[in-house]
């Protein structure tokens, strides 16, 4: 096997390109992660439209995969991500609670408020499952055009594609390699 053949081979499940990444750059309107091998990797989050009862993710994945050219690489990551929004919403409601009308009620509500405040400070964040798609950009304009069009192609099945920003790609790389599940 020649050196070029080894360079073109991508190992399934390999994370070395994340760890040894050379940085980020913008290609068109998208941010890409430059892997240790020099390849450009585009990232997007896939979400199902909650307002559509007819979401068909299997058909969306079929459309995505059948539209790819030979030699292209796409990887789907399903990761658990901390989700502070439910806690923040509860905390905002908690802050608006009334103290009660008489002294006994005030004392009971105050004790409850202290307990809940302690709980909110000490308990771990809830997690949400996120689906991230990674696409290795090869072949220049053709693969970039595919990336730009895939959103519309699978949106008909109720799946939304949201490209990640530079900051989100950095956060993803940190989370994948240092998950700190003890929030």
DSSP state of 122: H
Are 183 and 124 in contact, with CB atoms under 8 Å apart? Answer: yes
Q: Is residue 124 left, alpha or beta, with left meaning phi > 0 and alpha meaning psi from -120 to 50? A: beta
Long-range contact pairs involving 105-114 (C-beta distance under 8 Å, separation at least 24): none
> What percent of the chain has pLDDT above 70?
80
Of 73-82, 98-107, 154-163, which range is least confident? 98-107
User: 């993803």: which residue's tokens?
Assistant: 172
Looking at domain 14-82+127-177, its CATH architecture is 2-Layer Sandwich (3.30)
Which residues on neighbouring strands pair with residue 75, listed in sequence order?
A: 134
Contacts of 52 by beta carbon, 8 Å cutoff, 6+ apart: 158
Closest CA to 142 of 55, 48, 70, 35: 70
Quote the CA–CA distance of 169 and 173 in Å, as a whole number: 6
* CA atoms in the 13 A half-sphere facing the CB of 111: 5
Once rounded to an integer, what is the mean pLDDT over residues 136-143? 84
Mean pLDDT across the stretch 78-107? Answer: 73
pLDDT in tens, 26-70: 888 999 888 877 888 999 999 887 777 888 888 998 999 999 888
Domain ranges of the chain: 14-82+127-177, 85-122
């Amino acid at each position: 096997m020649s050196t070029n053949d080894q360079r073109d081979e991508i190992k399934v499940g390999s994370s070395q390109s994340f760890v040894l990444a050379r940085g980020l750059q913008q290609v068109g309107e998208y941010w890409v992660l430059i892997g240790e091998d020099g390849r450009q990797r585009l990232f997007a989050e896939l979400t199902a439209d909650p307002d559509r009862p007819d979401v068909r993710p299997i058909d969306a994945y079929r459309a995505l995969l059948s539209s790819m050219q030979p030699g292209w690489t796409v990887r789907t990551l399903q990761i658990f991500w901390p989700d502070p929004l439910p806690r923040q919403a509860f905390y905002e409601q908690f802050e608006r609670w009334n103290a009660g009308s008489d002294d006994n009620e005030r004392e009971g509500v105050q004790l409850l408020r202290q307990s809940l405040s302690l709980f909110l400070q000490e308990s771990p964040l809830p997690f949400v499952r996120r689906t991230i798609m990674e696409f290795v950009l090869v072949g220049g304009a053709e693969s970039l055009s595919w990336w730009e069009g895939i959103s519309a192609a699978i949106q008909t099945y109720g799946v939304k594609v949201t490209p990640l920003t530079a900051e989100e790609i950095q956060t993803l790389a940190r989370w994948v390699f240092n998950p700190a599940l003890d929030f």
